[in-house]
Structure 1
Amino acid sequence: MIVAQSYKGQTIAVFGLGRTGITAAKSLSKGGAKVLAWDDMEASRDAAQADGLTLSDLNGADWSAIDALVLSPGIAHDKPAPHWTAQRARENNIPIICDIEIFAKEIAARAPERRPVIIAITGTNGKSTTTSLIGHILNSCGRDAQIGGNIGRGVLDLEAMHSGTHYVLELSSYQLERTYSLRANSAVFINLTPDHIERHGDMAGYRAAKMRIFDNQQTDDIAVVGVDDESGQHLATELIAKNGRRIIPISGSRALGRGVSVINGKLYASINRTSVEICDLRKARALDGQHNWQNAAAAFAAVQGLGLDPEQIGKAILSFGGLAHRMERLGKVLSVSYINDSKATNAEAARQALRAYRNIYWIAGGVAKDGGIAPLATELAGVRKAYLIGEAAPAFRSVLKKQKIAHKISGDLRRAVLCATRDALSSGDDDPVILLSPACASFDQFKNFELRGDAFRSEAQAIIDMFEAEKAKGHAA
């Protein structure tokens, strides 16, 4: 754990006792702060007490004596309406922060030569894959790299820092809007599409929150910007005009005169006036699709200035195993592959998988987001048949019917997998793919997307095992 000593002697309120809240409370307490920890949910309070925290009901607290409020990132401090703790903090001019800000102050308090390297990643899509890929590259190249933030462990739960540590942090807009002091040696901004509008008010507010990742950078720091969309192109131009740091544009689809890009599946770096081929991403076992090529370009750009051998970086990229539930390859039955993309909880996320494969037997549905799958109408050319599950099935059926895409309402995931397997095996298609990319939240049938993906994995594995057993019998005979 990173012990937060910057708040020693201060009284800090911590509201929201999930993963990051409990860790923040422990870190602050160990560092000498007086911590007032609370949650409105009894189950969360019970879990926190079982984890060793002493609770203080903030409803009856003397807010005039509180120096800062650590508010869980998932709880609104402004839009659509401020939480009651945020309202109390504002009435008493108390700063509202998150665990990332505590972490940032701990780094700033160290002498420059003793500070760790900070690589921070944000964007609407691809954050987790890029973050994990960067961590994998660094560890593969012999560096001490730890991954945290909005993925895996809370940032204050990471191991204590030293000058050789590399912290690779996925940062959400919710975290960034409450972070003021973080200096990222490499700041990665992958892309920006509409999301979390209710929380930020509009796209301008959402963009402003994401842009905070570049705050506090200095002239020797790196800003990596995805330019495959118009907003990224404008951002790169804006940062170049400020001329306050080194800007590296990245693209997963087109050549760049300067930057890191993917051309016909090959990753090239053109940073120091010469173009160097790094690796052939078509050989990467876990980076299917143009969006993942952009993630690979971002990862290379983020680490290329750390003194690593480009050839070793390329080898590490190709050996990356990928993330569960993110276009995760589960295995094959004959020529049929099973792909778990349960993390695709909206149409924009599902778009990437639909673009990455052909001859798709698509499992979709659940609790639809605004617009459903209507935005995917132009992405369905590779879909041979769709299998619809959950409450969104009737609405999705209407869209598919208009697009003349074969489909059936399967209802539940198990039936969808069995039907898709039967149809794919009998199709005669080249390398068909059974793709779970629901374009929906999971809450009608599963507690979260992870459990939905785990269920898909279990169903697929049972079929794979059955075929393997039959094959073994045939060889034995």
Structure 2
Amino acid sequence: MINLFYMEGLPVAVMGLGKSGLATAEALTQSGADVWVWDDNESSRAAALDKGYKVVDLTTADLTELTTIVWSPGIPHTHPKPHPVALRARAANIELVCDIELLARSERDSAYIGITGTNGKSTTTTLIGHVMEAAGRRIAVGGNLGTPALTFPSVGAGGSYVLEMSSYQLELTYSITFDVAVLLNITPDHLARHGGMDGYVAAKKLVFHRQTKPRTAVIGVDDPTCRAIWEELKAKGDQVIWPVSALGPVPGGVYAADGWLVDDTFGAAERVAELAAFPALLGTHNWQNAAAAFAACKAAGVPTPAIVAAMTTFPGLAHRQQLVRTIDGVRFVNDSKATNADATEKALATFDPIYWILGGQAKETGLDGLEAYAPRVRHAFLIGEASDRFAVWLEANKVPHTRCGTLDVAVNAAAELALAKALPGACVLLSPACASWDQFANFEKRGEAFADAVNRLEGNAVPGDRA
């Protein structure tokens, strides 16, 4: 746990008692601070009391003793409507920071690699961590990814923190200048929280704040917003700038072209690896992740052969196009994290032919936008509440389908058909395009159930493919 020595003896409040909030309270307590905690949820307050924390109602308490409130990034402090505690804090000139800001104030001698973007942050962050660890670097990986920053060990001078940064966290982190900053892409998201698209873009651009050479900006250029930011950074020339693309050559950067990962950072356009060598990084969206991770690790000083070797062993993230098993040439892929059509589109674009398991608790947009991928689907297997609604879409798009009801029935039916047809490249794909709550506690439990059902199947598995 991080030693917050500079808070010893000081009153500090923690607003929001989720995983990171509780970790912050623990780190502050261990560091000798006078810790006040608050959460709008009564059960969260009760749990904090049970742990021995001082619960103080920040909506009514006298805040004049405080100089800092450690703010949960998920709680609005500006748009669409600031929380009353945020208004009180600002009126009293009390700073609002997130836990990553406290990390930065403690670990001043360490290097920082920050990764942000609308999509792909978690995969890219985990991939960078995997490469750095394989190269023998002293690192800690987390942030928005799930490991609270203040539970990290101290990596000290020569060590690196690899941090997935949400737009919310970037707004509440002031002391970090990232040695390597990665911006993957920007599409409309969280607009209400940022007062519109301009506010969202401004928050994402904070990852490059105060960077000067030799610090490096790695930026995806496959969407118009990020391409404009790239042009803006080039015009200023403050830092080293390496663009990345999944769509083809980009001068002075790292990109995917003709099935290869190409490094042109020094103008050599060197083919460093075949993309097919990275089995956990399938699809165009993952090629961008691979290019960005390669560039970030190279900027951090990892030699190219070490980066490529580590990327070939990257296992991928659980529930994100995760290969569970290959049986008699048929791949079984867990994409349970795909809880909407946009996420499922990436999987449908990656595999062909597909035996598609879908359904659950549908989002408002349903399967809209997936029509172009219908020809890839040899058969669909419906589960959960959305079965009737999705059956209408499948019929309209001429996709044969079976109503299975439950996931275990769907796995068995899909496996039986896929193995009987034995089509080259066939994939049984769980990519539900739905939330899981009608049948499972969360998408993780749904993915685990899929893996369990697949691992019960009989057949000739490829060695090492069983999860």
TM-score normalised to structure 1 length: 0.91
Residue 383 of structure 1 corresponds to 377
Q: Deviations over 1:270-301 (max 9, x none)?
A: 11121222212202121111211111110011
> How far is 1:217 from its partner?
1.6
> Aligned partner of 1:184: which letter?
F
Q: Which moved more, 1:385-394 or 1:313-322?
A: 385-394
Residue 13 of structure 2 corresponds to 13
8 Å CA contact retained: 2:138, 2:155: no
**1:392 maps to 2:380:** no
Q: 1:196 to 1:363 in 2, by over 3 A?
A: farther
Q: 1:428 to 1:138 in 2, by over 3 A?
A: closer
- 3-state SS in 2 of match to 1:375: coil
Give the distance between the partners of 2:337 and 2:262, measured in 1 at CA: 29
Give the distance between the partners of 1:468 and 1:41, measured in 2 at CA: 51
Q: 1:366 to 1:73 in 2, by over 3 A?
A: farther
Q: Deviations over 1:226-262 (max 9, x none)?
A: 1122222112112112221111100122112220011
> Aligned partner of 1:31: which letter?
S
Give the distance between the partners of 2:105 and 2:455, measured in 1 at CA: 47
Q: 1:369 to 1:124 in 2, by over 3 A?
A: farther
Q: 1:342 to 1:6 in 2, by over 3 A?
A: same
Q: Deviations over 1:196-233 (max 9, x none)?
A: 23323322222222221111222221111111222221
Residue 124 of structure 2 corresponds to 130
Give the distance between the partners of 1:374 and 1:94, measured in 2 at CA: 46
8 Å CA contact retained: 1:125, 1:349: no
> How far is 1:334 from its partner?
1.7
Residue 88 of structure 1 corresponds to 88
Residue 2 of structure 2 corresponds to 2
Q: Which moved more, 1:416-425 or 1:14-23?
A: 416-425
8 Å CA contact retained: 2:328, 2:460: no
Q: 1:165 to 1:238 in 2, by over 3 A?
A: same
Once the two structures are superposed, the pairs formed by residues 313-392 of structure 1 within 5 Å of their partners are 313-392=307-386
Q: Which moved more, 1:48-57 or 1:300-309?
A: 48-57
Q: Which moved more, 1:123-132 or 1:91-100?
A: 91-100
8 Å CA contact retained: 2:359, 2:387: yes
Q: Which moved more, 1:166-175 or 1:55-64?
A: 55-64
Residue 475 of structure 1 corresponds to none
Q: Which moved more, 1:181-190 or 1:2-11?
A: 2-11
Q: Deviations over 1:123-169 (max 9, x none)?
A: 11111111111111111111112101012411111001311111110
Q: 1:423 to 1:211 in 2, by over 3 A?
A: same
Once the two structures are superposed, the pairs formed by residues 60-79 of structure 1 within 5 Å of their partners are 60-79=60-79
Q: Deviations over 1:429-461 (max 9, x none)?
A: 223111111222222222221111111111111
8 Å CA contact retained: 2:35, 2:53: no
8 Å CA contact retained: 1:26, 1:53: no
Residue 474 of structure 1 corresponds to none
8 Å CA contact retained: 2:59, 2:84: no
Q: 1:275 to 1:51 in 2, by over 3 A?
A: farther
8 Å CA contact retained: 2:414, 2:428: yes
Q: Deviations over 1:46-97 (max 9, x none)?
A: 4445555443343442123221222212222233333332233234332222
5+ unaligned residues in a row in structure 2: which ranges?
Answer: 462-467
- Aligned counterpart for 2:428 among listed residues 422, 428, 434: 434
> Aligned partner of 1:77: which letter?
H
- Aligned counterpart for 2:223 among listed residues 229, 251, 257: 229
Once the two structures are superposed, the pairs formed by residues 55-454 of structure 1 within 5 Å of their partners are 55-107=55-107, 110=108, 115-454=109-448
8 Å CA contact retained: 1:240, 1:247: yes
Give the distance between the partners of 1:390 and 1:84, measured in 2 at CA: 40
Aligned residues: 461
Q: Deviations over 1:159-187 (max 9, x none)?
A: 01311111110111221222222211111
> Aligned partner of 1:336: which letter?
V
- 3-state SS in 2 of match to 1:467: coil
- 3-state SS in 1 of match to 2:456: helix
Residue 467 of structure 1 corresponds to 459
> How far is 1:9 from its partner?
4.3
8 Å CA contact retained: 1:217, 1:244: yes
5+ unaligned residues in a row in structure 1: which ranges?
Answer: 470-477
- 3-state SS in 2 of match to 1:451: helix
- 3-state SS in 2 of match to 1:249: strand
Q: 1:244 to 1:369 in 2, by over 3 A?
A: farther
The percentage of counterpart residues that share the same residue type is: 44
Residue 473 of structure 1 corresponds to none
- 3-state SS in 1 of match to 2:23: helix
> How far is 1:44 from its partner?
2.6
Give the distance between the partners of 1:406 and 1:219, measured in 2 at CA: 57
- 3-state SS in 2 of match to 1:63: coil
> Aligned partner of 1:161: which letter?
V
Give the distance between the partners of 2:364 and 2:116, measured in 1 at CA: 23
Give the distance between the partners of 1:142 and 1:388, measured in 2 at CA: 46
> Aligned partner of 2:216: which letter?
I
8 Å CA contact retained: 1:358, 1:382: yes
TM-score normalised to structure 2 length: 0.93
Q: 1:68 to 1:318 in 2, by over 3 A?
A: same
Q: 1:428 to 1:136 in 2, by over 3 A?
A: closer
Give the distance between the partners of 1:213 and 1:21, measured in 2 at CA: 22
Give the distance between the partners of 2:52 and 2:177, measured in 1 at CA: 32
8 Å CA contact retained: 1:342, 1:452: yes
8 Å CA contact retained: 2:379, 2:399: yes
8 Å CA contact retained: 1:363, 1:389: yes
